Structure 1
Amino acid sequence: MSNVMNMDLIYKLFDAANMHRWNDHLRPIDLTEIDKQAHKAAIAWVLGKYEEQERGITLDWRRIIEGSLFSFMKRTVLTDLKPQLLHRMEDERFDEVNDYVLSEISSSIPDLNADFLKRFEDHIRCTEPVLEDKIVAAAHYLATNWEFNLLYDMNRHSYAIDQTKAAITLELAQYSDLIGVKNTMGSQSMTFIDLIGQLRFQQRWTRVPRIPATTVLGHSLMVAIMMYMHDLDVGVDDKQAYNDYFTGLFHDLPEVLTKDVISPVKVNVKGLTDILDEYEHELIESRMMPSIPEAWRDELRFFVYDPFTDKDDVRFGKVAGRELKMCDVMGAYIEANVSRRYGICSSKLLEGEESLRKRLMDEGDCINAESLITRFDEMRI
């Protein structure tokens, strides 16, 4: 049977960096679909933790992870439809819409793992959502609401802007029974969700022009998804799959406090890495940890500190740090390679691409990097 970690699927998801959201409105920053999906995935963790900690509920985190991923896959097919139209189509033509989505995914990713494809189909055809599905749906609307709040003031005179605001508020009201929704909507201070959202402002490869100009948060989602695909292929247990995915999603979280420092600067300035690590830890403890309940803080430390180190913690379990690092390198390689193939490159980008490719060929056997790169070379993008 074919692997879940499939370069055709990886590129299809990465290409969502070219999908622009709210592009019929004035926007203070470019809002892309990949960033929205990354923000949604992080918000789902927050909502899930509230349910677990305050209600004592045991969640199926694989269903939350796959629910986020499958809804992302569906969105790559139904690209630029306005939400009102999409919701109407799904209400009135539910089966036909999902038939089309399934057909498009199957044809554009012909070698997709059959079991994974079946779970995707079950997800998009589901008509009786469980708690985990509600958490993913609520995270979707919270991420949408966060975006809308960014652009509302400069679009006050736009057509139907207040109707849009009312519609988002009405959608969120459906999930008001979730503790995290209630706490987030009622907060007057900066929340963890706001901190995560700031990673949508930070572009990768600072000072290096690229198309698409991906952000730190979008990159983090790609790392998390690739790691989850790899974990499905090697058959890790539920706890490690959870750890690997959310470590991947949160591995660059400290950059909201320090900004992205490109690797050549870290390598060439003696002692800078150690200095940055020291300041990152200090800032995480003083500014980030107070934004979440104390009961979650040790787990977030487990995700954020030394994410690329193999771990087997008595309390939290395993993280495959080496494989995670190779997914991180693969994400950076795709960013550089795609920009070059689009025709936007510089000497720094070319040097970066060559260095990343060599590292993947030398060290990436743990994620089958050579096979993935070979397929990527063959693809027309």
Structure 2
Amino acid sequence: MTNLFTIQRWNNRPALLRFTEADNSFNTLFLSFVFLTVSEKSQKDFGIENSLQWRLSRELPKIVLSDISLQLKERIERFAPDVWNEVRNRALDDLKRLSDEETVKILIPEKIECNSLDRLADLYISYLEAQENGKIYDYTQPLKELKEKIDKMTEELSQDELEKYWHIAQYVWTPLVNLTSMVRWNRTHRNVRTSVSGHSFVVVTIAYLIGKLAKYKPIDEVIIKSILHDLPEAFTGDVITPTKKKVHGLDELVAGVEKEMTTEWINNSEHLSRLKKYIDLAVDPFSDESGRIVRTADYLSALLECAIEINSGNKLEIFRQNFFNFKHLIKENSPIDVSTWIDEIEKIIF
């Protein structure tokens, strides 16, 4: 999973803002969640779990394949329409050997039906990435090719729907860019920089896996809390826990401000009123048993970030100290025994 932190998108072009595969995965999943929430049509067959599984089916093969540029992939598919599916299937077989077949099957079932809103979210996020970098550099070609693919979505969605979802995507893009631009462990030297959005995608994936192994229901609650758990930081910035604990009651004040700013963001869009029911999950994502799963995943993702730094040769003591701190917190909080996961990571770095 941590490979997704280092695979740079649009790597054959100059960029104003670099997006990693982890950033793109989270941003697309978040937009899918928003689209599903505000949709007027019944989505009973296409919930957020299906959206996550489809996202994982597209992203996890890249752990093996790295990134393939949009232009190359498009042209290959023109000559041989089925070749990319074969490449993806072989990459999944490689993943099963790298990890284990049971884990891969949990994350990526054999049959996944793609919702048109997920495809649209995927295209819109790619378009917005290209548009962001196209403010300075020449992204004419990818923007043209993405626009052609978006226009073909009229076969599944009306023009009015496409325009509505485009307005939503543009509005949601602002906090997503904030999360992508925010570097974790900001005051500390990093060899492998991780953003809040990239971290969030790893949290969602780990929380989903733990939830499935723990047979937690409803699993959608775990996924949604994971998606939203760092959203308030898009408005407030990252206020680290030691700062919140400096003065008694400061953490409650920060939570109040986070709720107010998240509510204002939702209220300022005519399309997002249905998101109001999720505000408390964004501000307090770690409550109840589902929150315990999300908290464990959050700690595990942070432990992985420490492991990356140690493994890359970063000698700062903070990463070793926090590795063992998170190891202790994970064992205290996890609803399932994940000691073998931690052992595997420890064997690599120590």
TM value normalised by structure 2: 0.88
**Offset at residue 328 of structure 1 (A):** 0.8
Matched, 1:308 2:286: yes
CA distance, structure 1, for counterparts of residue 104 and residue 9 of structure 2: 31
Correspondent of 1:58 among 38, 44, 62: 44
2:32, 2:118 within 8 Å by CA — same for their partners in 1? yes
Among 330, 345, 348, the residue aligned to 1:360 = 330
Q: In structure 2, what is the equivalent of residue 370 of structure 1?
A: 339
Q: Distance in 2 between the 1:94 and 1:217 partners? A: 27
Q: What is residue 260 of structure 2 aligned with on the other side?
A: 282
Q: How does 1:194-205 map to 2 (within 5 A)?
A: 194-205=174-185
CA distance in 1, matches of 2:184, 2:4: 16
2:140 aligned with 1:162, yes or no? Answer: yes
2:202 to 203, 214, 222: 222
Q: Matched residue pairs, number?
A: 343
2: CA distance, partners of 1:371 / 1:180: 47
Is 1:193 aligned to 2:183, yes or no?
Answer: no
CA 1:162–1:71 in structure 2 vs 1: closer, same or farther (change >3 Å)? same
CA gap 1:351/1:94 in 2 versus in 1, 3 angstroms: closer
Residues 1:164 and 1:294: Cα distance change in structure 2 (over 3 Å): closer
Which amino acid in the other structure matches residue 226 of structure 1?
Answer: I
Change (3 A) 1:113 1:330: closer
- CA deviation profile, 1:164-202 (whole Å, cap 9, x unmatched): 211011111122416664214256x96123322321011
Alignment partner, residue 183 of structure 1: 164
1:132-281 matches, cutoff 5 A: 132-156=114-138, 161-176=139-154, 177=157, 181-186=162-167, 191-237=171-217, 240-281=218-259
> What is the alpha-carbon distance in structure 2 between the residues aligned to residue 261 and residue 295 of structure 1?
27
Deviates more, 1:81-90 or 1:142-151: 81-90
Q: Check the 8 A contact 1:251/1:304 in 2, yes or no.
A: yes
- CA shift in 2, pair 1:321/1:95, >3 Å: closer
Please give the alpha-carbon distance, in whole angstroms, between the structure 1 residues aligned to 2:298 and 2:73. 33
Q: What's the counterpart of residue 71 of structure 1? A: 58
Q: Deviations over 1:295-344 (max 9, x none)?
A: 4133221421311011xxxxxxxx61112111111111111121111112
Give me the identity figure in percent. Answer: 19
C-alpha distance in structure 2 between counterparts of 1:32 and 1:377, whole Å = 25
Which amino acid in 2 is paired with 1:82? S
Deviation at residue 369 of structure 1 after TM alignment: 2.8
Structure 1 residue runs of 4+, over 6 Å off? Answer: none
Identify which range, 61-70 or 251-260, moves more after superposition: 61-70
1:342 aligns with 2:327: no
Q: CA–CA distance in 2 between the matches of 1:223 and 1:115? A: 19
In 1, the alpha carbon distance for the partners of 2:256 and 2:324 equals 31
Q: Structure 1 residues 377, 90: closer, same or farther in 2, change over 3 A?
A: farther
| 2:299 paired residue number | 329
The TM-score normalised by the length of structure 1 is 0.82
Aligned-residue offset at 1:99: 4.0
Unaligned runs of 5+ in 1: 1-12, 124-129, 311-318
Tell me how far 1:139 sits from its aligned partner: 1.4
Is 1:85 the counterpart of 2:72? The answer is yes
Return 323-332 or 92-101, whichever deviates more. Answer: 92-101
1:20 and 1:32 in contact (8 A); partners too: yes
Q: How many angstroms does 1:353 deviate by?
A: 2.2
Partner in structure 2 of residue 32 of structure 1: 20
Change (3 A) 1:115 1:206: closer
Contiguous gaps of at least 5 residues in structure 2: none
